[in-house]
Chain A
Amino acid sequence: MAYSEKVLEHYENPRNVGSFDKDDPSVVTGMVGAPACGDVMKLQLKIDENGMIEDAKFKTYGCGSAIASSSLVTEWVKGKTIEEAAAIKNTDIAEELALPPVKIHCSILAEDAIKAAIDDYKSKQTK
């Protein structure tokens, strides 16, 4: 299957790959996986005291579309507030990357990774 140019671009030059120190209190982590293809995605956000996302990193084991989706998401969330990041929809990701229907689940995974990271943030806030 042919990947779109945007997917290839992110796949060949993925942005923000790696991990933050998970013991850093400003770092939250979202881990998600897609059973259909066995893809695993980790998204980490560095969030300042005002709820602004300062930085983002990801590590994804999966196909080109999954890697591109998570790479794109790390670019998008930087500088956004938690609320703005939570509003990112999988359809936005799929549209930006021109994902074919069989790869829509990769964008769903990336959206769910943001949500999981925000859940982690909220659970840390209430502690």
Chain B
Amino acid sequence: MTEGVVVTGMGIVSCIGFNVDETLHSLMIGKTGIGKISILDSIHRDEFVLGEIKLTQKELMEKLGVDLNLPWTRTALLGVWAARQAYQSAGLSTNSGKRIGLVSASTVGGMDRSELYYKDFLTDAIRKNHIDTHHAGNSTEMIADDLNIHDYLTTISTACSSSLNSIMFGARLLRHNLLDAVIVGGTDALSRFTLNGFNTLMILDHEHCRPFDATRRGLNLGEGAGYLVLERTSDALAGKKQVIAQVAGYANANDAFHQTASSDNGEGPFLAMQRAVAKAGITAQDIDYINVHGTGTDNNDLTEGVAMKRLFGDQVPPFSSTKAFTGHTLGATGVIESIISILSMNNDKVFPNINFKEVIEEINLVPVSQLTDLHINHVLTNSFGFGGNDSSVVFSKVPSNISGL
């Protein structure tokens, strides 16, 4: 009854690659992008490792060839970079008569510049240009202006689950025929604000993170952006578009347990996964692989594991966290891992949960820790955040006769 929605374009920028091909390559050879801090100017520089994109603000602006007179935030630049790729790979154009929208996600918006210029806002005439780049919608508007998008735009922020929710909302806009194509995803740059914030929570690992490992000590932050182009299945087929994946199911649930900690029984994550699978019209047994949220914090991995066991019983499908490659990219993490999930599915490979050695006794779940061949028809990806915001999305393989690949 409801109209299907498919992915017709992808774009991604993170510490493991500046485009889809580079990302795939890093995942295949098991190369992490996490390392010593060299871009972010923080007193914690030597204390932590980060998934940084190794380009300065100036280098980013030059690389993208953007108007240097505009007040760019790093968040906006990363967003523009990934969104351009998605737009081009889907073959979109603004004079096609199609209604094109943009639904982007971000957690701290333009904080990367605000935290540098905050004390100058009242005195420095040049810095004042950055007063209005602070709000979370700024990067969305910078991307929209770069791609000349006018038909619809909005921004979502639900902490670390933000960009999975932009996929959901975008799919709804298509199903209600309010748009013909929608660019969905998110962008977040590293900032001292988030590094220090997570540090006060004492959930940052000083070493490389070890998701789902018994000795895990916390997460590594990262930065990046990712966007998908979504279109209705019928339009994509009529337009003989390349169809990359189907957005089969999605759900958003709230743990309603505690502001930062997740519940012992993993209720929110359980509901998000269960409802997403139901929405896809499949059963839990049909899920071939899960790209888990797996941040490497004590609390998340335990809860996520408990929730997976509740849904899948003793038949938990092969799963891995790819955060030891990219770091936790906050508002971008949902879409970045969606792209990784799609790459996994379309290449029939499970990318490894690197740094895993020792199983967590309480849940006794072993992630896939080596690159593994696996036939994947349906992939589930999770993102959970503060405020109890939990989201899951199911992507399904496109039948080979219509994929156009």
Please indicate whether A and B come from the same complex rather than being unrelated chains: no
